[in-house]
Chains A and B, each alone.
Chain A
Amino acid sequence: MILTPNILVRLVAILVGGVILQLSFFSQVTLFNVTPDLLPALVVVLGLLGGTLTGAVCGFWIGFLLDCLLIAPLGGASLVLLATGYLAGLFRERFEIHSSLVPPLLCLGLTLFAELGYGAVELMLGADVQLSALLIKDTLLKAVFAFFGGWAIYLGVRRALRPALVEDPAVQRSRRRPTVLGI
């Protein structure tokens, strides 16, 4: 990703807008008794478009802003989301994406990873609680929401950051290297 001042402004707007939309809309609606969490999907998309460094940095700042606005202990969400962004970026750097199903599938998988990560951070900090079986259902449903939400986020963010993207889709199509879900 080529970072110009214009692109940086767009990135910041995407991060802030994403966190505010999550907290004031998605976190307060329930679908099948579950609140969608689309922030991991946003981080995955940024990692997929920008690579490991962009993914990790955006994940860190999204987590930081999230913790600040929730007045929660800082660092937990940053740690989880930076790992999520890094993994998405790593995927982008190791493989070429030839199917439009890859971004939403990655959103699904890495949202699962992020939700488990939040739990791991809590356990690391010494939480001593009973866990409900509903936790599994909630986590899986959040991942499913991220699959569908991730699709829309990918299209929207790619459009917003198009001038900064290094790889042109036409160039991508011409190169035939190891692919994921490509034919």
Chain B
Amino acid sequence: MYRKQVRRRRAVLALLIVGSFALLTVTYGQGSDGMQRGVSTIFSPLLGAADRALKPARDLVNWFDETFEAKGRNERLQGELETAREQAVGKKAALAENAQLRKLLELDRSGAIPSGYTPVTGRVIARSPTVWFADVTIDVGSGDGVEVDDPVVNGDGLVGTVEAVTGGSARVTLIADHSSAISAKIVPSGTQGVMKPTVGDPEDLVVDFLDSEKLVGKGQSVVTAGWRAQGLESGYPPNLPIGEVVEAPLREQEAQQQVHIRPFANLRDLDLVQVLTGGARE
């Protein structure tokens, strides 16, 4: 009797393990399949309702966290303010450069959208709980015109790209996810490279393969390159703000340089985002 139980237990365990590997093999890199869409369609309204109902409690917890963090941030900001004052007084050229950069970028932080794109506003309703994935689920999907590979932004800048869609929801892979790789451009130098994340730290992105002959300095902005060549084109429209350079180590005798950037968008705390639908596909 006991042996029979043990055999049955082992059989179930083996079945589950084989099932997991089979699911992984079948669905990896496939986006969403019918079964997943069905489950997601059933639970999305429930998830959306829970998201709205729990928002006050979430805000309360986040308020405590931010208040705690603000104490430490206060001292750091004092130091930064001193530095900023020195720069403002001693380096007016930097201010002029800043104005030029703004003009060059022609950015409207209140939500300017590249021509040809139709923004669809969505709310984050779920987020991956593990440290290894940086993706969120939003409450707009193919029923709202969202398609796979659509870029996603918020008021601060680029957030990620749509990886999979169902009728009423979509998975957005954030720019801090390990699978993300974006062709980026440093302004004003115009040098281009590939931006990849550092897993575990959403505030540290790395732009690699930059031409070392063009100097890149701390504080310079990074935008999407939005290249187009021989019928191929980047999935992102050009000049979407991504972040600013925070570390640009000088490496002599190397043809390519690597810089670290901090994204403008706070990827840990996303609420409302805009999916840029349409664009070059239309």
Contact = CB atoms under 8 A, between A and B. Distances in A.
A76 B58 contact: no
A122 B58 contact: no
Nearest to B24: A75
A135 B43 CA distance: 31
A79 B13 CA distance: 11
B269 interface: yes
Interface of B: 9, 12-13, 16-17, 19-33, 35-36, 39-40, 43-44, 46-47, 50-51, 54, 57-58, 61-62, 64-65, 68-69, 124-133, 135, 137, 163-166, 169-171, 178-179, 196-201, 204, 206, 268-269
B58 A25 contact: yes
Nearest to A29: B61
Contact of B201 (A52, A75, A132, A139): A132
Nearest to B169: A71
Contacts of B17: 79, 82
Interface in A30-69: 30-33, 35-39, 52-53, 56-57, 60, 63-69
A70 B40 CA distance: 8
A170 interface: no
Main secondary structure of the interface of A (DSSP, over half): helix
A73 interface: yes
Interface stretch (A15-23, A98-106, A157-165): A15-23
Q: Interface residues of A toward B: which range?
A: 35 or more
Given A31-B65, A131-B199, A68 B39 contact: yes
* Most chain B beta-carbon neighbours within 10 Å: one of A23, A26, A60: A23
20 contacts: A20-B47, A25-B54, A27-B128, A37-B129, A37-B130, A52-B9, A66-B129, A67-B36, A68-B40, A71-B137, A71-B170, A72-B128, A72-B171, A73-B27, A73-B30, A74-B26, A75-B21, A122-B133, A129-B178, A138-B131
A39 B129 contact: yes
Contacts, number: 197
A16 to B, nearest CB: 8
Given A127-B179, A131-B198, A135-B200, A23 B27 contact: no
Interface of A: 16, 20-33, 35-39, 52-53, 56-57, 60, 63-76, 78-79, 82, 86, 115, 118-119, 121-122, 125, 127, 129-136, 138-139, 142
Contacts of B9: 52-53
B199 A132 contact: yes
Contacts of A86: 13
A79 B135 contact: no
A88 to B, nearest CB: 14
Contact of A56 (B13, B68, B163): B13
A53 B12 contact: yes
A78 B19 contact: yes
Contacts of B165: 71
Given A21-B50, A25-B57, A82-B16, A132 B32 contact: no
Given A76-B24, A138-B200, A68 B124 contact: no
* Most chain B beta-carbon neighbours within 10 Å: one of A28, A31, A73: A28
In order of increasing CB-CB distance, the 6 nearest A-B pairs are: A135-B200, A75-B24, A75-B23, A132-B201, A23-B126, A71-B171
